Amino acid sequence: MSIGLTPYLRFAGDAREAMEFYNSALGGELSLLTFKEGMNDDNPATTDLIMHSSLFIERGIHLMASDTPPEMNVTANGTVALSSDGDDEADAARLRQWWDALEADSRIDMPLATAPWGDSFGQLTDKFGVTWMFNITAVRA
């Protein structure tokens, strides 16, 4: 048996746009379910909002999200951290590719650069307000 940890992001009406962006940036398989589809909701304020979405990226990387109905407050989404273990150059390359893709229209909080501990580290906040931290371990020979 294995245990997984899945970030669950909450949006205020732009979950569809955010998850489609993450799907284009990170790849994977995206599924979306609206309140209309999931709860037969005919409320015009929520019918087209995303009740649940799921993005299976690869190797156990799973991101989920939903829209928060208007009567509920949305607070900051927190941080999604991605890292490699340093044994695989392909993993390092993939993380750099994801950084480049997420960088579009983002605020760069800390440029992706060599950190004092020797790895590449960077942090950005994307156009949806989600913060992403990348730690790309230096590949050790």
Give the DSSP letter string of 15-83.
HHHHHHHHHHHH-SEEEEEEHHHHH----TTTTTSEEEEEEE-STT-EEEEEEPPTTS------EEEEE
The domain limits of the chain are 8-67, 79-136
Within this chain, domains 8-67 and 79-136 share the same CATH topology: yes
CATH tag, 79-136: 3.10.180.10
- Please give the class, per CATH, of domain 8-67: alpha beta
Name the pTM for this structure. 0.82
Mean pLDDT per 10-residue segment, the chain (141 residues): 72 94 96 86 81 88 87 73 78 91 94 90 92 84 58
Chain segment 82-101, per-residue pLDDT in tens: 887 767 788 888 899 999 99
